[in-house]
Amino acid sequence: MTLKRTLTLAAVALFAAGGAAQAQISDNVVKIGVLNDQSGPYSDLAGRGSVVAAQMAIDDFGGKVHGAPIQLLSADHQNKPDVGANIANRWIDVDHVDAIVDVPTSSVALAIQDITRKKDVVHLNSTAGSSDLTGKDCSPTMVHWTYDTYAQAHGTGTALTKQGGKTWYFITADYAFGHALEHDTAEAVKEAGGKVLGSVNAPFPTADFSSFLLQAQGSGANVIGLANAGTDTINAIKQAHEFGITKGGQKLTGLLTFISDIHSLGLPTAQGLILTDAWYWDHDAASRAWAKRWSQKMGGGRMPTSVQAGVYSAVMHYLKAIDKAGTDEAKKVVATMKSMPIHDMFTQNGHIRADGRMVHDMYLVEVKSPAESKYPWDYFKILRTIPGDEAFRPMDKGGCPLVQASAGK
């Protein structure tokens, strides 16, 4: 009886699927899973805000592609690669998820990169930093959307050195991400004619940075670079202010600082900071309109970060590519994404390279003083628009095997 019923249902389902979607949408539904940190250090800058952004993209697209409904799932990977890998495997094997989106924390992102490459599922990464995702670990089913450590390091490192910050000292979070960020920035500083005087490795996480700040102050460097993220950055900036470091003439820069960190610090403490960001909600009419819609859905009082906006842009582009390609088969969709320019509220002139890097303009910004800030979340002055080709690592320097393959063709 049960077997018979199952068979009947299966037959009906197959029939329905065949009838509804002439295009090849697997299981007649497109499932998108937002996998990120929903309770830990990155839950404000990505977290639920990214889920809301993805849902907005689905709604704006119309909720259906080629007649197949678009479904959104989300889960908390707790910044642990094993937890993230388990969820991704279950999503792919049991729930037949077609695309995994957002994935902050480089260690988790690299684990997801492996799984999605092997199981042929799309990976749209917005929040992870590692530039290896489009370098030696690149994948034909992945697009890295918003930023990476290379772009952050070069944007800020080059600009500050050219402005006269010739000597640098780093306070570095003592794990892979911090060291990568320090290394990339040091390269940019040297290329621009600057010098690195030294660095100190702070354990991760650290609440009290005063000792490290004092060492940085003692070095006499023009610029103190914070190669860390999240609460570490917030505490370091807050305490640098307390110890009067910027008043003494030294410049302080957070190499990976999001607008949510600035909001937490408050302008009196954060003013004058120089940083690189991929998107700013108050950049133009389109970004403002989108940010206000997002803010409403989040219950008001907050504005989106660049990575949350990146999730919207990535999901929208993904859905457009399915529409154009007529299939949700991972490699074909990503190839189609690469063939289409990106023009939306996130970027005016984006395109995706063979290695999976979405290239777009980045912004060098300075945090406004309380007097300059006219309304809530009016935080950034854009100092310079860094053209995409300059902001991101040249494709031949990354060591992505896909690049050699496409060059050989």
Q: Which residues bind other proteins (CB under 8 A)?
A: 39-45, 47, 174, 200-203, 205-208, 210-212, 214-215, 218, 230-231, 234-235, 238-239, 242-244, 260-261, 263-266, 268-269
Q: Which is nearer to other proteins, 42 or 363 (CB)?
A: 42
Q: Which is nearer to other proteins, 207 or 371 (CB)?
A: 207
Residue 335: closest CA among 346, 345, 326, 347:
326
d(CA 3, CA 8): 9
Q: Which is nearer to other proteins, 179 or 293 (CB)?
A: 179
Q: Which is nearer to other proteins, 58 or 265 (CB)?
A: 265
Q: Which is nearer to other proteins, 73 or 298 (CB)?
A: 298
Phi-psi region of 103 (alpha: psi -120 to 50; beta: other; left: phi over 0): left
Residue 221: closest CA among 243, 189, 192:
189
Q: Which is nearer to other proteins, 42 or 91 (CB)?
A: 42
Q: Least Å distance between CB 407 and other proteins?
A: 41
Cβ contact 72:54 at 8 Å: yes
Q: Least Å distance between CB 241 and other proteins?
A: 10
Q: Which is nearer to other proteins, 44 or 132 (CB)?
A: 44
- What Rg value do the Cα atoms of the chain yield, rounded? 22
Q: What's the distance, CA 340 to chain centroid?
A: 20
d(CA 177, CA 107): 9
Q: Least Å distance between CB 206 and other proteins?
A: 7
Q: Least Å distance between CB 234 and other proteins?
A: 4
Segment holding 198, helix H or strand E: strand 195-202
Q: What is the DSSP string of 276-342?
A: EES--TTSSHHHHHHHHHHHHHTTSS----HHHHHHHHHHHHHHHHHHHHTB--HHHHHHHHHHS-B
d(CA 362, CA 242): 31
Q: Which is nearer to other proteins, 39 or 89 (CB)?
A: 39
Q: Least Å distance between CB 72 and other proteins?
A: 21
211: number of Cβ within 10 Å = 12
Q: Least Å distance between CB 337 and other proteins?
A: 32
d(CA 321, CA 342): 11
Q: Which is nearer to other proteins, 251 or 320 (CB)?
A: 251
Q: Least Å distance between CB 381 and other proteins?
A: 21
Residue 105: closest CA among 281, 230, 19, 291:
230
Q: Least Å distance between CB 299 and other proteins?
A: 11
The residue count of the chain comes to 409
- Which residues make Cβ contacts (< 8 Å) with residue 61, sequence separation at least 6? 70, 316, 319, 320
Q: Least Å distance between CB 178 and other proteins?
A: 11
